[in-house]
Structure 1
Amino acid sequence: MNNQMITQTNYNMQMEMILEGILEENISQKPRKPLVFKPYTNRQSMMIPDIESFIPEHHVARLVDEMVESIPDKLLFSHYVGGGRAPYHPKLLLKVILYAYTQKIYSSRSMKRMVEENLPAMWLAGMQSLESRYEQASNKEERKQLRMEKSKRQKHIKTIEKDYLPRLARYEAQREILGERNSYSKTDHDATFMRMKDDHMKNGQLKAGYNVQIATQNQFIIGYKLFQRPGDTRCFQPFMNQLIEALPKVPTQVIADAGYASEENYLFAMGEEQEPLFELLAPYNTYVKEQTKSFKQDISKVQNWPYREEEDVFICPNNRKVLFKRYSQRKNTGGYEQDYKIYECEDCTDCPLKALCTKAKGNRQVHWNPVYEEMKAKARAALDDEQKAALYAKA
């Protein structure tokens, strides 16, 4: 062991002597020149008049600065409630964060160090040093408040992620299944809940099903179609369009029950040409009721009141004028727009018949649909015809 150490020491001494000889030989061969360096000292006071001038023209920091400055202050300030200690300007924070991301810096500690050491970051921060939220808090109460706010935000985020977003996705899926309907069956998504006719137990319940439309001629079925719509009224037009396309010629008469009688279906039967598309023999929903004695003697029914066309007024049972006031539009459940004329009695004060005429506190109003009333008059005239009434009764 000792011999090895002595040998190594002698070897090192020999190598040092050889290197010193080589250096002395080289120095003696070359003439010495005076050494000149650029002035340098970092122990004196320095002042940077314009830090921006040290940022290259096409530096990414300038792009970040220009982009953030283009954001309106109002948009950024809307996330602050005000009060308490003045926070950092949102544009300062946004610039520092975006620039840090371009430099692959993601932690807050590294961003804080970057603002202290990186010249472009210093410029973006306006030479302000950043402190964490907890460093800014001057006492325990403020730190406690910050923790409570953070916990509250996390709770809201968790609620959104675990409850609201899954629920929204479920609602969107259900709405996609619904389409234009207002219900569907969980076991058969194509079926719609409809009020069925009373069964043998007199139970008229909502049940999932389909609306089957069938057209017959001389007791032969000439067309059918399944619908997801519960009411017959809205099925009439699409079914007739399909039937007309399939038949060699358009039928001259179509007989249907009161479920198909509506303003839009009457107008559809009339067609857009001068000649009607076909004659629709369908009683409107109050047709049978209007034939009764009780209806004809009911003074509240405007159908029983005289109408003066030249004055556009109705005459109420107390011989007072019911004057036109304004026009109105309404949409029915199917989205069809109907035009109404609103009439109002000139004065219902002290009228002895008011209790029998209306339950309104003020003057009696009449909502009159001229188009539908004209369609009803034509349907009534057709059904009052003996030949057509017999044809309807046979169907």
Structure 2
Amino acid sequence: MFKYYNMNQLVLPLDLEVKLQENDIAFHIHHLVESIPHEAFEPFLRNTGCPAYHPRMMLKIILCAYSQSVFSGRKIEALLKDSIRMMWLAQGYEPSYRTINRFRVQPEVKELIRQCFVQFRCQLVQEKLIDQEAIFIDGTKIEANANKFTFVWKKSIEKYHHSLIEKSNQLYSELLEKEIIPEIERESEDELLIEELAQMVQKVDDVITEYDQKIEASSDASERKALRSKRKYPKKAYKQLIDFIIRKQKYQKDFEIFGERNSYSKTDSDATFMRMKDDYMKNGQLKAGYNVQIATEGQYALAYGIYSNPTDSRTLIPFLDEIEKHFFNLPKHIVADAGYGSEQNYDEILSKRRREALITYNMYLKEQKKKYKQNKFNPDNWQYDKESDTYTCPNQQRLVFKYVSVRTDKTGFKREFKIYECEDCSGCPLRSSCTKAKEGNNRKLMVNEKWKKQKEYVRAKLSEEKTSSIYRQRKIDVEPVFGFLKANLRFTRFSVRGKSKVENEIGIALMAVNLRKYTAQV
């Protein structure tokens, strides 16, 4: 016996809401988007043309699709015809894939996504799912939607540009020597500017035109042949100058795109070539990507940022600025791994922001080992006399203070080192193990007192019971978010190009991760 089944009988349509389960993710998406203030949608209002789909509805269906690991515009369009939760969220509307794709990359959508994160965090605080005591920061690299072999390297462009400068200067000297063009006023003796090259092109063109007129006016074959022979070099120089101008314009544009980066992709100029963990080519090939930074608590992503710099330590300060400006005030504890441990970052958090930095540094684990502490050639283990400001080496020789050295890194941050030098290293039996300095030179020691104090602070904080327990939560708080994003949601590559569009997409993907976890938890 079977249950009654008849395809020819009319069935009255019911409200799709009754078809959804009680705790369906569609309800959480609906409540979250409805909590966004009305003012955030005002930039989408248009007074002319056909009425647009409501941005609340568009945001709901995109969030829902991403939560189901559907990122293609065409597949989202197909879901609107197949999925009950998508039909309910869209309330019968079926926007095309073009409309969906245009909407999710609009600059105005960034504010809607930001409001989603703000409202979602308020909801977590109200339900006491997070305690606002600390944030856990980490980064991951996600592949850009760019061709793998369209790289442009800064060092190569610098090399070609330097060669172009030499060739253009040489050509200018030859044209002057052969009296083809007069001397022009130059802003710099080292390099010819585009405007100066354009002047040279005009003057050489005038010379070629003069030769053309003489050839046309002459009826003597031998004279015409001689004039054509003289015209060859100016014509060759003219072509070279045109080529120099085109190349120089290209190189200048390349340098503008590079900024402080070392590479970019031709198909997505905002993407930088980085080393990815998922090396499917198995050859260490760099791939175009973005450095995604997130701040989490309770395994929920509360803030995010997109950076073209592959180094985590140099993204921390701009990311903290982004959090305070657009998301929420920083809590008491800022937790991150050793990749963020630097003098500049400690100084920023401790001195400027007045927060506690629970961030290790590269040598933290090595310094805890017995072998490191018992190494007599390690300067950290040398005896220091505060009164005389001297160190004592393993051969009982004193290293006295000589001078202060200030070094400035690429970001403009200054570090101060005290330089100590041994009084006499000659004849030392331990010299080969102690120093690599040439024979006749004494052992020198560089000491960064500020960095030493910062390391002592970190070691003290991580030895306290409360702060060490907070730091230990880092691995089980921020890492699962990336695992969920890449493994469960299968979001391993962006589907849009350009930093602004990528920011929108990663925000939607991270909010989809949040909503899936929240739905499973409540």
TM, length-normalised to structure 1: 0.59
| Letter paired with 2:384 | Y
**More off after superposition, 223-232 vs 382-391:** 382-391
Displacement of 1:248 after TM fit?
4.8
| Letter paired with 2:301 | I
Q: Secondary structure at the match of 2:429?
A: coil
Matches within 5 A, 1:205-216: 205-216=285-296
Displacement of 1:156 after TM fit?
4.3
| Letter paired with 1:309 | K
Displacement of 1:246 after TM fit?
3.9
Seen in structure 2, the aligned counterparts of structure 1 residues 266 and 82 have a Cα distance that, compared at 3 Å, is closer
CA separation in 2, counterparts of 1:148 and 1:316? 78
**Does the 8 A contact of 2:323 with 2:329 survive in 1?**
no
Seen in structure 2, the aligned counterparts of structure 1 residues 371 and 150 have a Cα distance that, compared at 3 Å, is farther
Displacement of 1:149 after TM fit?
9.3
Displacement of 1:339 after TM fit?
1.5
RCO comparison, higher one (Cα < 8 Å, 6+):
2
Displacement of 1:266 after TM fit?
0.3
Aligned residue in 1 for 2:337: 257
Matched, 1:166 2:246: yes
Matched, 1:305 2:382: yes
Matched, 1:239 2:316: no
CA separation in 2, counterparts of 1:331 and 1:183? 23
1:385 aligns with one of 458, 464, 475:
464
Displacement of 1:189 after TM fit?
0.8
Displacement of 1:390 after TM fit?
2.3
Displacement of 1:286 after TM fit?
0.5
Displacement of 1:148 after TM fit?
9.7
Aligned residue in 2 for 1:341: 418
**Does the 8 A contact of 1:299 with 1:357 survive in 2?**
no
Matched, 1:182 2:262: yes
Matched, 1:217 2:297: yes
| Letter paired with 2:472 | A
**Does the 8 A contact of 1:183 with 1:193 survive in 2?**
yes
Matches within 5 A, 1:50-69: none
Q: Secondary structure at the match of 1:170?
A: helix
CA separation in 1, counterparts of 2:176 and 2:281? 68
CA separation in 1, counterparts of 2:266 and 2:392? 55
* Structure 2 gaps, min length 5: 1-172, 178-182, 184-205, 211-225, 475-522
| Letter paired with 1:301 | N
CA separation in 2, counterparts of 1:366 and 1:320? 13
CA separation in 2, counterparts of 1:81 and 1:183? 36
Displacement of 1:208 after TM fit?
0.9
| Letter paired with 1:380 | R
1:353 aligns with one of 426, 430, 444:
430
| Letter paired with 2:371 | S
More helix by share: 2
**Does the 8 A contact of 1:198 with 1:204 survive in 2?**
no
Seen in structure 2, the aligned counterparts of structure 1 residues 154 and 81 have a Cα distance that, compared at 3 Å, is closer
Displacement of 1:250 after TM fit?
2.7
Aligned residue in 2 for 1:365: 444
Seen in structure 2, the aligned counterparts of structure 1 residues 339 and 155 have a Cα distance that, compared at 3 Å, is farther
Seen in structure 2, the aligned counterparts of structure 1 residues 205 and 380 have a Cα distance that, compared at 3 Å, is farther
Seen in structure 2, the aligned counterparts of structure 1 residues 371 and 184 have a Cα distance that, compared at 3 Å, is same
Matches within 5 A, 1:38-53: none
CA separation in 2, counterparts of 1:337 and 1:149? 59
Q: Secondary structure at the match of 2:323?
A: helix
Aligned residue in 2 for 1:229: 309
CA separation in 2, counterparts of 1:199 and 1:173? 31
**Does the 8 A contact of 1:323 with 1:346 survive in 2?**
yes
TM, length-normalised to structure 2: 0.45
CA separation in 2, counterparts of 1:372 and 1:152? 63
Seen in structure 2, the aligned counterparts of structure 1 residues 245 and 81 have a Cα distance that, compared at 3 Å, is closer
Seen in structure 2, the aligned counterparts of structure 1 residues 320 and 202 have a Cα distance that, compared at 3 Å, is farther
Q: Which has the larger radius of gyration?
A: 1
Q: Secondary structure at the match of 2:426?
A: coil
Seq. identity, %: 43
Aligned residue in 2 for 1:4: none
Over the aligned positions, Cα root-mean-square deviation in angstroms equals: 3.7
* Aligned pairs, number: 265
Matched, 1:322 2:403: no
Q: Secondary structure at the match of 1:187?
A: coil
CA separation in 2, counterparts of 1:223 and 1:304? 42
Q: Secondary structure at the match of 1:271?
A: helix
Matches within 5 A, 1:282-293: 282-293=359-370
Seen in structure 2, the aligned counterparts of structure 1 residues 267 and 153 have a Cα distance that, compared at 3 Å, is same
